[in-house]
Structure 1
C-alpha cells in the first residue's frame, strides 16, 4: 500500500488520495503511522481522523520507525532497492512498482503467507512465469466458495501468528 504522493500538495488532496487508494481497497485502518509532514500535522487531517475515531501516530526525525513492523518493512524495502538497483540508483522510482509486487508476493515469516494471499486469497503470477493458469477451482470460484477460501487462509494466518506470539 504505497500510493504515489508526488503531486499531492495539501492535506485535502492527501485525504482524497488516501480514501481513493487505501480505504476503498482495504477499509479504514485502526491507526495511521506517518511522518511529520505538514499535510499530516494539519488541522484538517487531525480533525478528519479524530471524527472517524482513529488514532494518528507520528514518527520522529531522529527515529522514523515507530514500531517493529515498520522497521522490518523499511529494512526489507531498502535491501530490495539496493540489491535490485545496484549502481542505477537514479531509477529507483521506476523500480518501485516491481519491488512492491515482489514484496507483496514474498512469504512473511510471521504469517507463513504472502500479502497477496491474505488480501486476495491467491498469489498472482509473475510476468516471467511460464506456468499454466491456476487450477479451475481457484479461477472459477463462485462468491461463497471464494469467501470461504479467503476465510480459511485468514484463519491459517491467525494460527501462524498465534504460534509465533505464543
Structure 2
C-alpha cells in the first residue's frame, strides 16, 4: 500500500491523494481517492469498507512508514487479525516495488488524461477530473494483460474477464447521445493507456 500524492482536488469531496493497494500475486489494484489529512481511523475505515470487503483479511501488508500505517490503531488492528506488517525503509522504497510500479502506472494514466489539471474536456466535450477517471482506469488495468503473469489481473482474481462496454458495443448505431459516445471514447482511451503502461 502506498499513496499517489500531489493531486489536484477532485471529486465531490475534493480528494487530493489516492491510496493504492495491490494484490501481490494477482497484480489486482484498487485505487482509493482520499485526503492527505485523513487520520489513521479514516484510513482503517476506508480500507475495511473498500478493500477488505473485497479481498478478505490480508496475510501481509507492505507499505512505507506513513504515520497512518505505523499508528497504534493500524498496528493493533492488524495484529488482532494476524496480518504481518512490513515497512519499507525510507532510504529503500523499492522494498514495496509492486506498489511503487503501480503508483507510477496510475500517475502515468492520470497524467495522460488530465495533465494534472483540475479537470479536462476530451475531444467530445465530456468533462473529467482525476476522481471520475479512477474506476475506468482501474477496470482498464484489471482487464489488460500483465507482463509478468501473461494474464489479466481480473482473470487471475475471478477466473474470467468482465464483459467490457467495448466487447459488446453496437457499432452501427446512428443516433447516439453525445455523452454516451464520449463515455465510450473515455473507456477506449483508458484501456489503450493501461495497455501502454503495463
- Identify whether the pair has TM-score above 0.5, normalized to the shorter chain: yes
**Which structure 2 residue ranges, 5 or more long, are not aligned?**
1-29, 119-128, 171-198
TM-score by length of 1: 0.64
Richer in strand (by share) = 2
Q: Does 1:122 align with 2:122?
A: no
Among 78, 101, 104, the residue aligned to 2:139? 101
Indicate how the Cα distance of structure 1 residues 5 and 34 shifts in structure 2: closer, same or farther if over 3 A, else same: farther
Match of residue 56 from structure 2? 27
Residue 88 and residue 14 in structure 1: after superposition, are their counterparts in 2 closer, same or farther (change >3 A)? Answer: closer
Distance 1:92 1:13, change over 3 A: closer
Mapped partners of 1:19, 1:88: distance in 2: 29
Q: Give the CA deviation at 1:33.
A: 2.3
Q: How many pairs were matched up?
A: 131
Segments of 5+ residues of structure 1 without an aligned counterpart are: 133-166
* 8 A Cα contact 1:8 1:14, kept in partner: no
Alignment of 1:1-166 (within 5 A): 1-6=30-35, 9-61=38-90, 63-85=92-114, 87=115, 89-90=117-118, 91-131=129-169
CA RMSD of superposed structures (Å): 2.7
Whether the 8 Å CA contact 2:62–2:96 is kept in 1: the answer is: no
- Give the distance between the partners of 1:15 and 1:6, measured in 2 at CA: 13
Q: Report the Cα distance in structure 1 between the residues aligned to 2:162 and 2:151, rounded to whole angstroms.
A: 13
Using CA pairs under 8 Å that are at least 6 residues apart, name the structure with larger relative contact order, 1 or 2: 2
Higher helix share: 1
Distance 1:38 1:71, change over 3 A: closer
Give CA deviations for 1:9-56 in whole Å, capped at 9, x if unaligned. 332332222222222211112211233332222111111112222222
In 2, the alpha carbon distance for the partners of 1:93 and 1:60 equals 30
**Matches of 1:7 and 1:75 in 2, distance apart?**
18
Q: Secondary structure at the match of 1:4?
A: strand
Q: Alpha-carbon deviation of 1:96?
A: 1.9
Normalization by structure 2: what TM-score? 0.55
CA distance in 2 between counterparts of 1:71 and 1:7 reads 18
- Cα 1:69/1:9, change in 2 over 3 Å: closer
User: Secondary structure at the residue paired with 1:36?
Assistant: coil
